[in-house]
Amino acid sequence: MTTPLNLRRPSGARAFKNSLATFGVWAAVAIATLPLLWILASVTIKGAPLLFTVGADHTIVCVDESDLRVPTSQCGTEEDAKGGTTRADGLRWAFPSGGKHVAVGEKVNLYRVDTAYPAADHIVYVDSDGAGEARFFSLQWWTSSLGNATSKDSQGGALQAIYGTLLLGLLTAAIAVPGGMLGAIFLVEYGRGTRAARVVSFMVDILTGVPSIVAALFVYAMFITTFGMKRSAIATVVALALLMLPMVLRSTEEMLKLVPDSLREAAYALGVPKWKTILRIVVPTSFNGILTGVVLGIARVMGETAPLLILIGYAKYLYLDPFGDSMGALPTMISDGISVPDGDAGSDRVWAAALTLILIVMVLNLLARRIAAKTKL
């Protein structure tokens, strides 16, 4: 005789344990998610204005009641316009389009557009409500270099830092990805269970835990001190490759292990050589996971700061030569402006650089997903 199932809600100690477990799961989700959301929100709110902001037209002209331009001297000084002075004779200051724009992030007088006139005129008048910011879409942050701007200056962009970050990431991937994939193929396909594979695996585990500053010091001592090389982007790439290599190797190794042995055995039974089986069956089958590991490795090295501080000088101008001794990068741009007092234009550039770095990593992940979807077997 079978015992009927008890489908009643749990009670007593069992209900308490279930509730405690549920609370623990949601607490873990909150602990893992809320800090990330807080970081993303803070970086976006504080960094977005510089990415998409340009000031209003700052060429002030004097117009009469019919909006006809009159000699500037009749309206008084520019300070009168900034203070919102109203004249009894109907003359007033206006900001027409086509003049000199203020720099990105610079505060200008609060403005309003008089809707009684055609929108094509774009005449912007001074309001007397106080100071504000005029915000429009602009690519100036992406297309201009920082140049000789100081922490007090609001002009300048991050073109040199974006170029340096992308160049260092691509050069690092060109070294670390082939080496990591070949090492993983050796561990899984050729050296599984051998002493050589155990030695290589042990060394990779040690390299995984090496701090970035240690890798930078190693490259500095070997290539710069011993062989007389100068500080350059290439030396930085070597240090970053040491950090990226174990990540690519481990992720590729795990993905190759997930490929069923039956696929390999079927290929061998058909007379396919081992190298061709690896190249045409094993690697394509695990390509999605391998690509994910590569993107994660690139994202990590793009955010490293210590190798850049030790092995290359920070440049505020755009230098294209990877063999030069100076190059801009987003991590060093953040490091250079981190001591700027809050409220200065330089502190805004720090947040904008951080947001730019996050956007680059996000684009890389989306691109990797797209490639993986197109190449899935």
Backbone Cα Rg of the chain = 30
The pairing of strands 124-132 and 61-63 is unpaired
Question: How far is it, in rounded angstroms, from Cα 213 to Cα 361?
Answer: 22
SS3 content of the chain, % helix, strand, coil (to 5): 60, 5, 35
Q: Concatenated DSSP letters for 246-257?
A: HHHHHHHHHHHH
- Alpha helices by DSSP H, 186-232: 195-208, 212-219
pLDDT at position 171 is 93
Q: Which residue type occupies 23? A: F
Nearest to 44 by CA among 359, 364, 365, 362: 359
Q: Of all helices (H) and strands (E), which one includes residue 110?
A: strand 108-113
Q: Report residue 96 as tokens.
A: 């027409």
Nearest to 164 by CA among 336, 326, 295, 368: 326
Query: Whose structure tokens read 């193929």?
Result: 185
**Backbone phi and psi for residue 211, each to the nearest 5 degrees, phi listed first:** -65, 155
- Alpha helices by DSSP H, 100-232: 140-143, 159-185, 195-208, 212-219
Question: How far is it, in rounded angstroms, from Cα 262 to Cα 254?
Answer: 17
Domains and CATH numbers, the chain: 61-136 (no CATH), 159-375 (1.10.3720.10)
Question: How far is it, in rounded angstroms, from Cα 359 to Cα 63?
Answer: 44
Other beta carbons less than 10 A from residue 222's beta carbon: 13
pLDDT at position 40 is 85
- pTM for the model stands at 0.72
Average pLDDT per run of 10 along the chain, which is 377 residues long?
64 78 90 87 81 53 68 66 59 56 38 38 37 51 78 75 92 93 91 87 88 90 87 90 92 90 89 90 87 86 89 86 85 85 76 89 84 65
Say how many Å lie between the first and final Cα of the chain, rounded.
52
Contact yes or no for 169/241 (Cβ under 8 A): no
Contact yes or no for 349/334 (Cβ under 8 A): no
Helix and strand counts by DSSP (H, E) for the chain:
14, 5
Contact yes or no for 208/194 (Cβ under 8 A): no
pLDDT at position 52 is 64
Instruction: Give the distance from CA 268 to its chain's centroid.
Output: 45
Other beta carbons less than 10 A from residue 120's beta carbon: 7
